Each structure stands twice: as structure tokens, then as C-alpha cells.
Structure 1
């Protein structure tokens, strides 16, 4: 089968950032029902960090090429693929392989990117914003007058949650690094410092939160559960990034997840509920959600902020800087100069 030279990121072994490098490789022509995409941007997130550490749930063994999502142009089709033409701009949730100049992806997972959209912002929507959108619109069904609490408001998903909840008419509270509090207040949200725990007493004083979104896991889920309103409060757990954020060894989320979900047994008594969210591209709502977000972006209804963009050659710096850049929003990797 013909192959094409490419450059890609490769995690050769789990652990230290020195194990993540850009290497020369080749890619075969796309197999049946696949499309080869020339990647312009890939998302960069805590998933990259956890995959490098070997702690992402059910991940591949090393060596592997990370890159959870992409925006790029169709390079060539395989036999049986006919929905896209070379040069079409597409988006895809790939899980792997997006940090490479070319990738072969199943045609069924490609979603057309409307002409005129900012490609950086379009890429941020694929995972960060669809994760937030699904939790706000489908899992929590946030509505006007509710008090929502978002952990990690300056992060990619946390920021998207705040914007979408506010768009639904909810009051937005949450935690963020103090260095970002000023900009968060300018959005009309109320930020607290996670580490001093003042947010717990503050939310009790407000009667509790109707919905809490918590990506941290472990003991944080216990604290978040404690600030729920007794009037049918809902805690949504996702991620489990507390250790990674604090530069500590990654921890398994199985037990905390079981503990979180077991609290549903108490729901008829305490009127509080818990749910756990995990995004997949096979979810029937994924495609329509992304297309809805494309529409909101095109209409100027959402402000998609980009915290940092790293060139693929600077992948090690991206890993070292993941939790450190000042500002709010998503982080991306610029893969190809050719769009």
C-alpha cells in the first residue's frame, strides 16, 4: 500500500515529558471507509497529560501518537468514502493520532466545518465545548434562575460551562486560580479560590448550588456534594484531574466514581443526585451538539477563548505549561501550516 512521509508526536514510554517527541514516520493510504486528513489544529488538554503518564482510562499502550481532536482539510478518500472532497474543511474527535501532519479517520466521524469559522475556535469546540454543552443541555438541563457551581472556571471545559450556563440564564459561581479572578468577575461570574475552601461556606450561605460541575474527583467530589441544595441538587463528576493539576502522581478514578454514583441510593431521602459524564463520538447527540456550537460561534452568541497555541515542535513545552498559562479557555497545538 502506498505511504506518505509525515511528522508526528510520539509518546515512546509513559512518564517523563522527555518521552514525548516529534518523529519522522509514514502513513499508508486510507483504508476502506476512511478519509485521510491534513491536520491544521489539534486540541491539547489534560487528556494529553494523562496519556503521557499512562493514566488515561482504557488507553493504548505506548508507543502512541496523542491528539484527541482535529480540524483539517481532506487530503484523499478511500474506496467507499464519498461524502467529502479533497480540500473540504472537517472536524473530528479522534481520541488518538491528531498530533500528526496526516491522519486516517473513519468517514462517519467527520463533521464539516462551516466556511468562515475561525479554525482555532472551531477546534476548541470539538471536545472542550461539546463536553460542556452535553452536560449543560442534556445531563443537567440547566435553566434560568438556577445557581451553578463550576470547578476550574479558567480551564477549557470550565470556561465553556460558565458561558453556556450563563446563556441559559443561570447564576455562575466556581473556583479558579486567583490570578484569573479579575477576568472571571468581568464575565459576571463569582470566583473563589479552591484551596482555601471558602467556597464551601459561601455556597452554604447562598442556600447551596442547584448544579455542581466537578472535574477534579476524589475528595473534591465529597466537598462538592456537600454544597448541593437540598432541593434536588445535582453533582456532575467528570475527568478526575485533581492529582494532575497539582503535579502529583495520577490516581485511579474507579473507586471515587463508584462512590459518587452510589450516592444516588440516598436521593429519595436527601433530594440530591449524582451523575458521571464521559464524552464519546458515538453518542447520538455528539454531531448535532457540535453543529449547534458551530452555529452559536458563527452567530456571535458564544465567546470561544484560546489560552495558548503551541507549535507541534514545542510539544514538550506544551506538556510542561499545561496548568500554568495566565488566562482562560482552551489550549491547542498548531500542526500544519497548510490549510
Structure 2
């Protein structure tokens, strides 16, 4: 099979298109013929081995060489074969998963416990746009933010991959949603359900008088104390992401904001999708919402398989609206 392999840390040019043996599924695994995948910060953080502090963390990007040779956290495709203990899926089934690896290849093995049926109303490209970004948004909105009907929710970074899902999920949970984005994306954010849209080039939302029950910090462009100014007295700030740097960020921003929670009345929480143990059930929830038309993937651009390095480079620039996907 064809796959893009990462043998050393570096730029997108470090992704090498090569031939690998098609993997054989284990007893509880499913072999998926990958039809589409997506590109996200998770991929290029592992590609570059940054922030460097992540190399020292257990289960991280790897110390001297990449821990994941074939990147691609999201998978949508067709079941090719199943292990002897697999009972839920059979060859030909259309599926999707947050596999955390393996999507930059023609075939990938996925544990049955992480695999879900693809939403029938969505294409493979649309389904591949969902897993990591939408699960991250779901955890932030439902689990850490505990968003309730009638609450005021602000999404800072509303036009990106996670942000577009967060806006839609907060609306689906009955909140009044304010989205913060750049000037070229205000129409998009409004079109996916935001009740109010703030252009950050014209207004600093951390200086306004309005208060929010939940602030979802995806952009990471303000310190935690700034978010406190716009939070209700018992409000919640959920750190989802932040600006990247070579050595520490976005980890430093996240840890500093969370540490503040020990000294203030507001709740400071962190969403870490890598710790998610319920990815299958979360995918089922998201699939149901997609079938109901409440969560629709926003796709900025689609690349062919041979141009995965270009897709990673484009996503790494940080200006994509919604998701960047790849067809295989």
C-alpha cells in the first residue's frame, strides 16, 4: 500500500511517500480502506516534534524520532477485513474513527472499540472532517463547559476546525452563542448558528461589559486573567488550544490558565482529546447530530492523497476556515 511515512522530525517535506505492507488486523481490529482523512494541528505538532517540551512527556511525540511513523488521526472509509473477535462490522461497511494515527495511508487498522458507522448523509470527506476536531469540541462544550440551555457561551477562535464544531454544538445544547473570528470569517460563523459575531480586529471581547457563563478558548490569544473579566462569577473557561511555539506553547498557556483556577471563583478547565476514552460513543453522538442537521462539517479545502505534504503545509499556516481534508 502507499503511505506517507515520517522518519524524522521536520517540515512537511519530511513526509515520504513510500510502499508499505498492508497491515493485517489483529483479533479485535478492523482493516479499513481509507477513503478520506483530515489534517490538523495534532499532525504537524508530531511532524515537527513541537513544542519541544512535548518530547519529554510520556506518550508524547517522541524524544529523538517521531513516535508515530504514519500520521493522520482521522479516518473515513470502508471495512476491508476484520479480526476473528470482531462482531459489529463486516467487509463493505462504511465507517469512521479517531484512530490517532494511520490516516495518511491507503489502509489502516483500527480497534473495533474506536470505530463507528459513518453517517449515511455525509460523504467520506465530510465524515473524515469530524472525528478529532468534533470530539474535542464536544468534550469542551458538554464535558468541561457543561453548557446548559439558555446560557451565554463565547467561542474564541470560532472559524477553525474545532471552533466551527463548538459553535454548532453549543447551539445544539440550547446556548446563546457569540463567536470571535477575523473579518473574512464573520459571515461563515454567523451561517453556522452564532447569535453574535465579534471581529477581533475591531473589538477586544475581553474589554466588553457582557458576561458569559462559558468561554471556550480555542485561539489562545489572551491570558487567563483576561478571560476572567468576561466570565460570570461562577462561569467556566475551557482551554482548548493556543498559539504554537517551538519550545513551550500552547502547553504553557494552558497550564498557566488552569493553575489560576485554584485561586479564583471561576472554573478553569482543559480539554485534552488524547485522554478521551469514549471516542466511539462520542462519534455515535456526533453522527446522530449530523443526521439531524445540527452539526455540519465545514470544509475549507480538499487535497488529493499525493499532496498530503501540501495539505499539512496549508493547515499549518493557520488560516483555514473549518477543516482541511484529503481524499485517498
TM-score band (shorter)?
0.7 to 0.9
Q: Is the Cα contact below 8 Å between 2:23 and 2:31 reproduced in 1?
A: no
Structure 2 residue 171 is matched with structure 1 residue 166: yes
Once residues 310 and 250 of structure 1 are traced to their aligned partners in structure 2, the CA distance between those partners, rounded to angstroms, is 30
Unaligned runs of 5+ in 1: 1-5
Aligned to 1:108: 113
Greater mean deviation of Cα atoms: 191-200 or 299-308: 191-200
Aligned to 1:11: 6
Equivalent position SS for 1:161: helix
Q: Please show how residues 101-180 of structure 1 align to structure 2 within 5 Å.
A: 101-180=106-185
Equivalent pairs counted in the alignment come to: 317
CA-to-aligned-CA distance 1:75-121 (integer Å, 9 cap, x gap): 11233334321111121211111110011222222212244433222
TM-score (norm. length: structure 1):
0.84
Unaligned runs of 5+ in 2: 55-59
CA-to-aligned-CA distance 1:151-178 (integer Å, 9 cap, x gap): 2111011011111112233222232122
Deviation at 1:249, TM superposition (A): 3.2
Once residues 217 and 173 of structure 1 are traced to their aligned partners in structure 2, the CA distance between those partners, rounded to angstroms, is 16
Structure 2 residue 28 is matched with structure 1 residue 25: no
CA-to-aligned-CA distance 1:268-294 (integer Å, 9 cap, x gap): xxx21101111247523x322221221
> Which of residues 257, 260, 280 is equivalent to 1:263?
260
Greater mean deviation of Cα atoms: 192-201 or 274-283: 192-201
Aligned to 2:206: 200
- Residues 101 and 327 from structure 1, CA distance in 2 versus in 1: closer, same or farther, beyond 3 angstroms? closer
- Residues 9 and 34 from structure 1, CA distance in 2 versus in 1: closer, same or farther, beyond 3 angstroms? same
Q: Is the Cα contact below 8 Å between 2:141 and 2:170 reproduced in 1?
A: yes
Q: Is the Cα contact below 8 Å between 1:263 and 1:273 reproduced in 2?
A: no
Once residues 288 and 28 of structure 1 are traced to their aligned partners in structure 2, the CA distance between those partners, rounded to angstroms, is 26
> Which of residues 40, 44, 48 is equivalent to 1:45?
40
CA-to-aligned-CA distance 1:12-68 (integer Å, 9 cap, x gap): 321222212322222342233222111011121111121111127412433711001
Q: Is the Cα contact below 8 Å between 2:149 and 2:174 reproduced in 1?
A: yes
Q: Is the Cα contact below 8 Å between 1:148 and 1:170 reproduced in 2?
A: yes
Aligned to 1:3: none
Equivalent position SS for 2:42: helix
CA-to-aligned-CA distance 1:108-141 (integer Å, 9 cap, x gap): 2221224443322222221211221222122212
Equivalent position SS for 1:159: helix
- Residues 299 and 98 from structure 1, CA distance in 2 versus in 1: closer, same or farther, beyond 3 angstroms? same
> Which of residues 301, 310, 313 is equivalent to 1:317?
310
> Which of residues 179, 182, 185 is equivalent to 2:187?
182
Q: Is the Cα contact below 8 Å between 1:35 and 1:81 reproduced in 2?
A: yes
Aligned to 1:65: 70
Q: Is the Cα contact below 8 Å between 2:178 and 2:194 reproduced in 1?
A: no
Q: Is the Cα contact below 8 Å between 1:218 and 1:253 reproduced in 2?
A: no
Once residues 334 and 185 of structure 1 are traced to their aligned partners in structure 2, the CA distance between those partners, rounded to angstroms, is 28
TM-score (norm. length: structure 2):
0.86
Once residues 206 and 275 of structure 2 are traced to their aligned partners in structure 1, the CA distance between those partners, rounded to angstroms, is 35
Aligned to 2:300: 307
Once residues 293 and 99 of structure 1 are traced to their aligned partners in structure 2, the CA distance between those partners, rounded to angstroms, is 23
